[in-house]
Amino acid sequence: MHQIIINGNSEDECRNLLAEAKSKYCLRSSYCRDQNWKWKKDAEKNYLEIPDVSKSVNGIPWNSGKEEVMTSASLALIIDGNSLVYILEKDLESELFDLATSCRVVLCCRVAPLQKAGIVDLIKSRTDDMTLAIGDGANDVSMIQMADVGVGICGQEGRQAVMAADFAMGQFQFLKRLLLVHGHWNYQRVGYLVLYNFYRNAVFVLMLFWYILCTAFSTTSALTDWSSVFYSVIYTSIPTIVVGILDKDLSHRTLLQYPKLYGAGHRQESYNLHLFWITMLDTLWQSLVLFYIPLFTYRESSIDIWSLGSLWTIAVVVLVNIHLAMDIQRWVIITHAAVWGSIVITYACMVVLDSIPVFPNYWTIYHLAKSSAYWLTILLIIIVALLPRFLCKIIHQIFWPSDIQIAREAESQSKRSNFGAKPGQDSS
């Protein structure tokens, strides 16, 4: 690895050293990472390719047998605090940024706390990347607070860094597990739950919207106020919380064995604009199924609007919970209790509410539950509403699997082979 040392004692000297380094190694004056470095978004390969730099630099053809062309993978920038005094306070920040982003390693030695924060701010202000700063002393507090994610190490230099950080750990080696395991799990959970909460609330609101259109924007209501309140507070909240805490798409062993799976977060595979609009289209379809199937089923009957409202309430709760169950990767006892228990709790609350004489929906659940059409309607709603989503998931996983899906399939096959291996035989 070739070293670039910047140790100037004046502004002009620092400027000359930066210009000399850029000229010597044929570095461009623009954001080289956007032009020469590309994240290849191919689930089969998933590696960082450097097509432009590895083959040519400013028109120089690659010749591995005769000439050694410098690439960013073989450069290391070393800069001291005295040089940063002139660079960060003058108009040399862009020069430093171009040079630093073209190197694989940047080492800043003997820098002041504010200079550490200045380096982090330099990256944050000129890129869209998230920054992480890790430190163990009071002189790292400014840097930790400036970064998007701050990690403090509790050691011999006190707890100032820990108190200012977002995460605290005892040793530096734990950073690998924090990023590759817990960082991946957290991203997958948060990304999915954001989409699920949009879906969970939008499907309920759209179902009521179709009712308003059907009644010509009248002031009548098919659902009681208690049902509307309990939908988000009791009926569907517990499974969301449990899945957001306990769900894991991959084991920690797999994530540590294949660190490139962390790139799913860089590619925004769990939450992006494309997934959002697909979720909204799916929500629109499910809300139409929720509203119109009961309406057509009971169009010749004499049941009142409160009975239909009771059916809609039960159907939407069952639908959103089965929708969530289709995406759960790790089933444990608490997950089963939360998902299926919420449906039982919904029925229990409906029975209690329909047993109060002062409510307009008095005794409706008892009349509906006696009819087989009631249970068949709920089953039909679930099948018709979730069938397009189920088919799309199957087709996508078969023909366009992501790295996560491939790793999960390999993990499940490994478990089955180990489980099926006879005692005394090698499972491999």
Rounded CA gap, 325 and 319, in Å? Answer: 10
**pLDDT(178) > 60:** yes
* Average pLDDT of the segment spanning 106-124: 91
Residue 402 has pLDDT above 70, yes or no: yes
The pLDDT, as a whole number, for residue 367 is: 84
Average pLDDT value over all residues in the chain: 84
Query: What is the percent of the chain where pLDDT is above 70?
Result: 87
pLDDT of residue 423: 54
- Name the DSSP class of 231: I
- How far, in Å, CA of 87 to CA of 339, rounded? 57
Q: What is the mean pLDDT of residues 56-77?
A: 49
pLDDT of the residue at 354: 85
- Give pLDDT, residue 116: 92
Lowest mean pLDDT among 73-77, 115-119, 378-382, 395-399: 73-77
**The pLDDT of residue 199:** 96
d(CA 352, CA 88): 68
389 contact partners, CB below 8 Å, separation of at least 6: 282, 323, 326
Band (363; pLDDT cuts 50, 70, 90): confident
pLDDT category at 25 given cuts 50, 70, 90 is: confident
pLDDT beyond 80 at 43: no
Q: In this structure, are strands 60-61 and 56-57 parallel, antiparallel, or unpaired?
A: antiparallel
More reliable by pLDDT, 178 or 367: 178
| Predicted confidence (pLDDT) per residue in 207-255, tens digit | 999 999 988 888 788 888 888 889 989 999 999 999 999 999 999 999 9
| Residues 286-312 pLDDT 10s | 999 999 999 999 888 878 888 888 899
Confidence at residue 168, expressed as pLDDT on a 0 to 100 scale = 92
- pLDDT higher than 90, residue 41: no
pLDDT above 50 for 46: no
Q: What is the pLDDT of residue 224?
A: 83
DSSP 155: B
Q: What is the pLDDT of residue 323?
A: 96
pLDDT for position 328: 93
Whether the per-residue pLDDT at 144 is higher than 50: the answer is: yes
Q: Which residue has the tokens 């099948």?
A: 383
Check residue 47 and give its pLDDT.
41
The predicted structure's pLDDT at residue 273: 93
Query: How high is the pLDDT of residue 428?
Result: 36
Amino acid in position 380: L
Beta strands 132-135 and 149-153, pairing class? parallel
Q: What is the largest CA-CA distance in the chain?
A: 93
Of the listed ranges 53-57, 188-192, 351-355, the one predicted with least confidence: 53-57
Crossing angle for the helix pair 305-327 and 372-399, to the nearest 10 degrees:
30
